[in-house]
Structure 1
Amino acid sequence: FVGTLIADAPAPVMPAIAVPEITEPDDDPPPPRQHIAFCKAADGVRLAYAVAGEGPPLVRAANWMTHLGYDIESPVWKHWVRDLSEKRRFIRYDERGCGLSDRDATDFTFDDWVADLESVVDSLGLERFPLLGVSQGGAVAVAYAARHPERVSHLVLCGAYAQGRAVRASSEDEKRAAALDLELARVGWGRDDPAFRQVFAAQFLPDGSRTDWAAFDQLQRRTTSPENAVRFLEEFGRIDVRELAREVSCPTLIMHSRDDHRVPLRFGEELASLIPDSRLVPLSSNNHLLTASEPAWQVFRAEIDAFLAV
């Protein structure tokens, strides 16, 4: 067969089309800027505190397992710092024995924790401010508000309680559970194997993701020593602010997860019955520490905003 070869005509040149650059949405904004400083407690212990955001102040009483330098990156706490500093000057501090505050404090009592809050707000020159207390920090906030009614304009409590586990334990099962906390901290806090510490993660963040649990494990190891973890848990168990709660005179907002696995809702209800002029808002959550992704966190934020606007 004989055929004639014809070269293909050159393809027409099409004008270039400018394609806009596609960028992924920023789902995880950078952490807020914060200023970390130090002050001395009444007994000379060095306390670290941080200020983030601008506007009217909001002070958070210290609670277990915080680290000012790490919290703004940790999935456990970073949304607390980010969102609560959006409209306010959010002030928080590491309690003695924890985070950037002195780890080797000799005195380790509930009254020391209340005095530490006094030292921080005095060093910042705050005269009157709203006070937030989370978990055992709620009892510290209650005691401070009762002793300094002229300083606290509003009190916000979340996952708080009036009595520690050792005080409120009435049944043998409750007493064994309180003792188990201490034994887990003694045996497993400093180990590389996270199995012991994950018992705490399961109580604090039962609905948390694998990432949340891993972050909680890192938080436990970074924030304090195994020896101090035991000291904290022993002192938490002895907390009893029922009488002081009756003396709180400022408006109080109490929020508590309905199915809190660490501190059941009934202990939030007890606080609401003790504190005059208080309001209880149950949150649809199983977590003791609210996560950023759950709807209860947005309810928590909206309730605080409305409460502090009054």
Structure 2
Amino acid sequence: MEGAADRNPIGDRPLRTRHRRRLRRRRPIIVGVGTHGGDAAQDIRFARSADGVGIAYAVHGSGAPLLIDACWLSHLQFDWQSPVWRHYLVELGRIATVIRYDERGHGLSDRGMTDHSLAARVADLEAVADDAGFERFALMAMAQGGPVALEYAARHPERLTRMVFYGSYPGAHAGVSAEELELYAAFEALIKVGWARPTSEFRRVFSSMMIPGGTEEQMRWLDDLQRMAVDAETAVLSRRQRQTIDSSPRMAELDLPTLVISSRGDQMNDFQHARDLAAGIRGARLVALESSNHIVLADEPAWPVFLRELTSFLAPDRSLMPPPAAADAHAEALAALSPRELDILGLAAQGLDNDAIAAKLVLSVRTVERHLQNVYAKLGLQGRTARAAAVGKLLSRG
């Protein structure tokens, strides 16, 4: 960190250019991702890590800075086309200036790396944070990013405003069951055998565990992402080295606002890991999503719950309320719903599925389904996204 005299007193303003580390002879790439509804061009840049590895990162959106620690499977350009990730990118860009990066050996970052240790991955995060030029920012750890984020936070508490853990864990040896260890070994064997195959039957195992509630289109996209994001050798090496990392002792050192979000039925990272994070970090708040998907999809009830919680935590000043004309239209449409329909929609907004709603209201599941169909008809909604859209209209009412 620079001396106090050099620091910018405003936390989310860029640092002076002379304090930023750049990967020379690489020019930023501007990637257009659309012109409607929250879409904006992203600026792809490259930072140089401590060992010289080039780390690709992208910046889009507006608001206070949010740096997202690298996920195992990502591709900065390909993700914008994704029916699995696009809704995250669009909505997060509405509430924050989003900085995200491809892990070393993955996506647009330098390929063929053999060092995927905690030290190397923390150095990558440090390089991106410094190069992006924000003195203070929120840090979001997704999936296997938890140990890296914990280590970074312990080393650089002065850089962080708050933290979010989503579907993550504190360390590979923190409460990992024998069953999970067997699963790790099975995954490694599947990667070696099937990663490079032109057909996707082996890669589909990963996809079906990440998004068991996904459509065939979403599954196919994840199948393709696996080969596009990383080669088989790097996938095995990076997973193997991650399994030796445990940053759980760092949890006790954190003292900043922290939100932990996870799906109850997550098949990639057990929900118990989220409980461990929330219990181990002082003052952390745990939000359980009623979903079996590791990556919550846009058309399930858990998505508006996730978005509401994240927005209120990261950007409470950025309301989810629609423009006045749209708000009036929403209010008029909701006024047509019966009290029972509003009750059911309200429970859906809390993330309850039809079985849970039926049990809570002492109704049959068929009756709940019938009421929801009436809600969709009155609101002019149809298809797989009808439930999420209806919940969104209710939440936007305030």
| TM-score class, shorter | 0.7 to 0.9
Report the TM-score, using the length of structure 2 for normalisation: 0.68
Secondary structure at 1:292's aligned position in 2?
coil
Distance (Å, rounded) in 1 between the aligned partners of 2:95 and 2:276: 31
The CA deviation at 1:309 is: 3.5
Corresponding residue of 1:149:
157
Indicate conservation of the 8 Å contact 1:167/1:239, yes or no. no
Indicate conservation of the 8 Å contact 2:73/2:226, yes or no. yes
Indicate conservation of the 8 Å contact 1:79/1:292, yes or no. yes
Q: 1:198 to 1:191 in 2, by over 3 A?
A: same
Q: 1:170 to 1:133 in 2, by over 3 A?
A: closer
Corresponding residue of 1:269:
275
Q: Percent identity over the alignment?
A: 42
Match of 1:94 among 85, 94, 102: 102
What does residue range 91-240 of structure 1 map to in structure 2 within 5 Å?
Answer: 91-164=99-172, 168-171=175-178, 173-240=179-246
Secondary structure at 1:100's aligned position in 2?
coil
The CA deviation at 1:250 is: 1.0
Residue identity opposite 2:251 in structure 1: A
Secondary structure at 1:72's aligned position in 2?
helix
Residue identity opposite 1:69 in structure 2: Q
Distance (Å, rounded) in 1 between the aligned partners of 2:150 and 2:86: 24
Indicate conservation of the 8 Å contact 2:263/2:290, yes or no. yes
CA RMSD of aligned residues (A): 1.8
Corresponding residue of 1:280:
286
Q: 1:167 to 1:43 in 2, by over 3 A?
A: same
The CA deviation at 1:139 is: 2.2
Residue identity opposite 2:127 in structure 1: S
Distance (Å, rounded) in 2 between the aligned partners of 1:35 and 1:138: 25
Distance (Å, rounded) in 2 between the aligned partners of 1:176 and 1:249: 35
Greater RCO between the two (CA within 8 Å, min separation 6)?
Answer: 1
Which 4+ runs in 1 deviate beyond 6 A? none
Distance (Å, rounded) in 1 between the aligned partners of 2:62 and 2:38: 17
1:82 aligns with 2:90: yes
The CA deviation at 1:176 is: 2.1
Runs of at least 5 residues in structure 2 that lack an aligned partner in the other structure: 1-35, 317-398
Of Structure 1 and Structure 2, which has the larger fraction of its residues in helix?
2
Indicate conservation of the 8 Å contact 1:114/1:143, yes or no. yes
Report the TM-score, using the length of structure 1 for normalisation: 0.87
Distance (Å, rounded) in 1 between the aligned partners of 2:148 and 2:263: 20
Corresponding residue of 2:74:
66
- 1:158-214 CA distance string (max 9 Å, x none): 1011122x664443x443222111111111111112111111011111111111100
Residue identity opposite 1:215 in structure 2: W
Secondary structure at 1:36's aligned position in 2?
strand
Corresponding residue of 1:300:
306
Distance (Å, rounded) in 2 between the aligned partners of 1:84 and 1:170: 33
Corresponding residue of 2:53:
45
Secondary structure at 2:77's aligned position in 1?
helix
Indicate conservation of the 8 Å contact 2:138/2:163, yes or no. yes
